[in-house]
Structures are given as C-alpha cells and as structure tokens.
Chain A
Amino acid sequence: MASGSEVEEDFRYCCCIYGTSNTVELFPSSLMILNIASFSTCQAKIAMDSLEVPVGLGLLKCRIPYVRQFIVDEATRHAEMEAIDVLLEQWQRTGISVEQVAEKFSNCILYVTCEPCIMCAAALSILGIKKVYYGCANDKFGGCGSILSLHSSSSEHQFSDKGSQRKGFSCTGGILASEAISLLRSFNEQGNPNAPKPLRQPEHQPRK
C-alpha cells in the first residue's frame, strides 16, 4: 500500500449541489479544476434517466469553480463541505429561517465525482439532503455504502422526538465512473507537495 498517495486521496473530489426547486443552485467547488465537460455529460445522462432534474443544463453558466489548494492544514475541507458552506452563507444572507434552510436542503441533489467519505456522508445526512449521485466508489473512506452506509436511514435507534430522527438520502453511484476515475488519476499524478516525507504510518495495526 503506497502511503504517499493516500493523503491526497482525501482531496480528489469535486462536487456540485443542485437545487430542484425554482431557484437552482449549482456550485461546483473543488480542490482541482472541475471538468465541466464530464459534468455536463453526467447531468445530461441523469436528466435522461430521471425526471426530477429540472430542464437546467443551461444553468451551468452560473458555475463558479474555484481552487482551494491553499488549505494545507485542514484535511477536512472536502469539496462537499466547501459547497455546503457556500450554500449556507448564500441562503442566510437572504435572511431566511432555520426551517427554510432545512427545507431548501431537502430539495437539493449533490453530484460528486467520488463517493462522499464518512465525514461528508454524515454531514449530508445531518443536513437532510435529498439525493446524491456519485461517479466512482470510495473503497477506503466511503460513507455511502463502501465502508459505512450513512445514507441509509434504517436504524435500530429510534427517537420519540422526531427532530432527532436520523435522516437518510437516496444515493446512486457509478455515474460516469470511468471518467471520474481518470479525472482523479490525473490529479493524483501531481502528488501532494504538503505530505511530510516520509509519511507517518498508522501508529498501530488493528487486529487482523
């Protein structure tokens, strides 16, 4: 297992959140430059498969891809978290209430090249997002079926208080998976200049 490549694997995401209500939000946010062509194809394909996506491919013009390579100290600033932050700020600037924000998230679809990791999947569940489409599976960190299944709401933990209920979301993977993999691979080849050399190994080995 090549440790050197594991570090930046955390970053090789790009995603966009897509609203299905009248106002469509699309904020691709990425640690690499978003491959718009892939996403267009992706959305075109989904648009054909699913009627819930608005007739909105033209809305790609409002994309705002930006690169946040400068964050070298926070391994947690994944594309999903960035996109969520952008949306929360945008919505709250318009002065809407907590309930309205929750309502908006429940109408959002996330498109992401790689299956959200456990952290992002948990975050998406907390926000109550409607649906996630992803490209390739994330067999080391994935939180939507690969390692944990945080998108599935079935749980033995039930609450009398409905507000504390765990929220699931529907999740479809394998959308343009090979394109997503080659996208990530091309980013991978650049390497992570911030990784220490030699990279520290996990400090203990779990039981086999």
Chain B
Amino acid sequence: MGIVYIPPNPPIPPSQQPTVSVYASVIEPKIANTLVRRLNQIAPLENLRHVKRVRKQCLDGGKMQLTVILCLACENGSLSGSMPKDIVELINSYQLSAFVTKVCKYAALSKEEWEEQCKLWPTSYHPPTYNIEGITGFSEEESQLIFSFMKLAIRLATSTNDQVVNAAVIVDPSSKQIIASACDQIHSWNTTVSKTSLEPGQLEQSAVFTSCLTPVVGAMLNGSAGRSKQLTDVSCLHPWHWPQPQLLASSSFFHPLRHAAMVAIESSAAGDRLLFPSNQDIRNQCSHEDDMQSVYSNSPAKRQKTVPLEVVDSEPVDNCSIIVGPEQVRPYLCTGYDIYLVWEPCAMCAMALVHQRIRRIFYALPNPNAGALGSVHRLQGEKSLNHHYAVFRILLPEEELMFGRREGNVYWYNCCENDK
C-alpha cells in the first residue's frame, strides 16, 4: 500500500526539461562581486530565480573558472542585436566574450530533476514546503487513517447489490469524523433499490456481471482500460453513458449528474444547514418555498435533501459529527476537509470540489476516460482557479479491490472483512 502525490504539473522526465537560452561569459574571479551586483540591477533574472547567476567550474590543473549569466537571449536572435544596451556596455568595459548557453526554465520538483538540471547549469532546489499535510509524506498513523477511509469508500462502492459504482466519503481530518458519504445516484434518485425487488433472472445476470469484475479491475490497475465497459455504472468513468437503456431504471427517477462526489457535497451542505441554521436561512427558505410552490405545484416528486447523512445500513460508521457544541463555528463550505473517492473524478465533480474548497482528494483508481486530476485534465494545475487542492492516489493491493468475489449469498465481497 502506498500514497502517491499527484502534482499540479505533469511529471517531466528529468532529461527532457524545458530550457531557455541565455548569454553568459567567463569572468575574472576578482571582478565577480562587482559584476554580479551590476547585472542584478540591469538584467535581473525575474522568472529564473532557481538558476544560479554564477557557475563555478574546476578546470584541469585545479584552476577555478567562473562563468556568469549576462541576460536572457532571444531564441534565434543574433548575438549583439538583441542584447540590451547596458549589457553591451558592460561587455565592452570588462572585455568579456559572450556566448549563448541553455539553462532550465522551471525550478526542479524533485532531487532527480535537480541533479539533471545541474549538468546543464547549476540551479537551486527547494523541496516542496506547501502547507498541506501529506505532500512531503504521511506519518504511519495518518497513513492508516487514510487507508481506512479509502476502504470505507470501496465498501460503499460495492454495497449496492447489483452494481459497482463510485463512492465518496468527506472527512474532517482534524476531528477524524465523517462529514458525508454517498454513492452514485444516477439511476436511483430519491429511491433505494432494495434487494428484494430484484427478479431472480436479474440476480443471475448480476452474478455473471460480478464474476467479470475482478479481472476488469485488475486490468485497470495495470493501466489498461480496454475492458472497462463493464464498469459503466461508475458515473465518473462513463459520464456520457446515462441515456443507454438500463436494467433497473424503469420505475425510479434518475439524474445523470448525481455522481457520488456531487451527492456527498449536497449531503455535507445539508448537514451544515441542519447543524447551523441561521436566520437568513430560515427567511430565505420561506421565500424559496413560495417560489418553489409556483414551480412545483402539485409535485409529488419534490426533491428531498438527504438529511443528515447517507450511510449504508449495517455499517458501523461513526456519525458523531452530528453532535456538536454550540461553540462550534459554522464551516465555510468544505474548507479543510478531505474527500475519498474510489475512482478519479470527472471534470464536473473535480470542479465542484474546487468550488466547495475541498483541501485534499484521495482516489484509488485512475479514470483514463474522463479523469480530471491527471488522466485527461489536471485541474489541480490550473493556475487561474481560485482554489487548489492537493491530490493523492492511494495504491491498494489488488485483493482490497476485489469487487466481485462471491461468498454464499453475499454477492459483493466486503473488502474490509479481512480487518475484522
């Protein structure tokens, strides 16, 4: 088992780092200080702060040679034509001979990258010092907690008797409490499919279906999505699949956008409204009721918020987050919370989690079809967004992901059974 940080930028092989051209010149060591001070004034390297201005090289015979970066060079400009006037003056007064060389454009993200960069021109390397816990590693205790929340999400994903879906668990890491949890609700909006409603024929079918799943998940773990067709109930994996005729959708309401993460966000917000009712809420609720009356007159299928929490029956989930003292501050959206998802979310869910200010996202399986945290898009690296979460993939051994194991009448093998 392991936890892998998924950085905002796609990883670049250390040897293929982008570079920029600069003018450099060998200088006499005794003028180095004066020259560097002057250069920092007339040609500061604003976007190349990681690049060292002076390179020190040991020549044969033990002699030190200093080379200094004069200024940025145009990619294909002539040597003297594109150089600032001040630099030209400096070159003339110190009798320097400028040449073009390359330096790495971006600061190194890893020690390996940095070592590679220094072969070109020395740079400085600062290991990441973000404020989000976990980017530089998790303690043993934290790791265990993270694994147990992910296992809960996997249990939820396989808890419906007839399908494997995506599942989401929102957690407050400071109190280790579950704020909300949900599964995909595309075909069962406001309804729960009970086991008894299944026809024998359908049971047969679902048993066949489940026996196919283990190799599918195994294939996904190996990076191949060729047979992911059988996981079409996982909404983030197949967001466009909803208009296809469904086995069980005939009588229930459906909603193509009720992906697990969206439902969990709604559930967490509903919980907050319940816990921290404010005057404004009540007043607006009234005006809203009036408006809704006009919209939904005689509506029997009025949308109901699932309050307080949606937790699968028979799961010993600790719901004590419901009981809070009056001194507790109303949370602002999901600031500071983590979310656990079995599959990497699609663009809709990933952006909803940006809007909702989630702090960290943990997922177990990549989503090569529609994943927005590294697979197809990489929202954590979109600089223009007003919030950035940290993203981690949890690597679980294959037996934890055995969704389809059959055990007597239990069609869905509970992957956490081993822990008991």
Residues of A at the B interface (CB closer than 8 Å) are 3, 6-7, 9-10, 64, 66-76, 81, 84-86, 88-89, 92-93, 98-99, 101-102, 117-119, 121-123, 125-128, 139-141, 143, 147-148, 150, 157, 159-161, 163-167, 193-196, 200, 202-208
Contact = CB atoms under 8 A, between A and B. Distances in A.
Contacts of A125: 239-240
B67 to A, nearest CB: 25
B54 interface: no
Contact of B8 (A3, A143, A166, A206): A206
A205 B388 CA distance: 8
21 contacts: A70-B280, A70-B281, A72-B281, A73-B333, A74-B265, A92-B254, A93-B300, A98-B245, A123-B348, A126-B240, A126-B346, A127-B256, A148-B382, A157-B369, A157-B376, A164-B369, A195-B332, A200-B335, A203-B359, A205-B130, A206-B8
A68 B249 contact: no
A89 B243 contact: no
A163 B301 contact: no
Q: Is the interface of A mostly helix, strand, loop or mixed?
A: loop
Nearest to A127: B256
Nearest to B348: A122
Shortest beta-carbon contacts, A-B, top 5 = A70-B284, A102-B243, A73-B269, A119-B351, A204-B130
Contacts of A123: 257, 348
B357 interface: yes
Contact of B131 (A117, A126, A193, A203): A203
Interface string B316-355: 0000000000000000110100000000001110111011
A85 B229 contact: no
Given A75-B355, A89-B301, A165-B240, A150 B255 contact: no
Contacts of A86: 295
B325 to A, nearest CB: 19
Interface in B256-313: 256-257, 262, 265-266, 268-270, 272-273, 278, 280-281, 283-285, 287-288, 291-292, 294-296, 299-301, 303
Q: Is the interface of B mostly helix, strand, loop or mixed?
A: loop
Given A140-B384, A164-B369, A128 B243 contact: yes
B377 interface: yes
A76 B262 contact: yes
B294 A64 contact: yes
Contacts of A163: 232, 238, 240-241, 243-244
A156 B351 CA distance: 22
A81 B257 contact: yes
Contacts of B171: none
A98 B254 contact: yes
Contacts of A157: 368-370, 376
B386 A140 contact: yes
A66 B292 CA distance: 8
Most chain A CB within 10 A, of B128, B270, B278, B288, is at B288
B257 A98 contact: no
Contacts of B8: 206-207
B382 to A, nearest CB: 6
Given A69-B284, A122-B346, A122-B347, A3 B386 contact: yes
A149 B261 CA distance: 22
Contacts of A75: 333, 355-357
Contacts of B292: 66
B355 A76 contact: yes
B131 A204 contact: yes
A148 B330 CA distance: 33
B291 A66 contact: yes
Contact of A161 (B229, B383, B390): B229
Contacts of B246: 98
Contacts of A7: 386
A202 to B, nearest CB: 5
A159 B382 CA distance: 27
A124 B268 CA distance: 24
Contacts of A150: 347
A164 B382 CA distance: 26
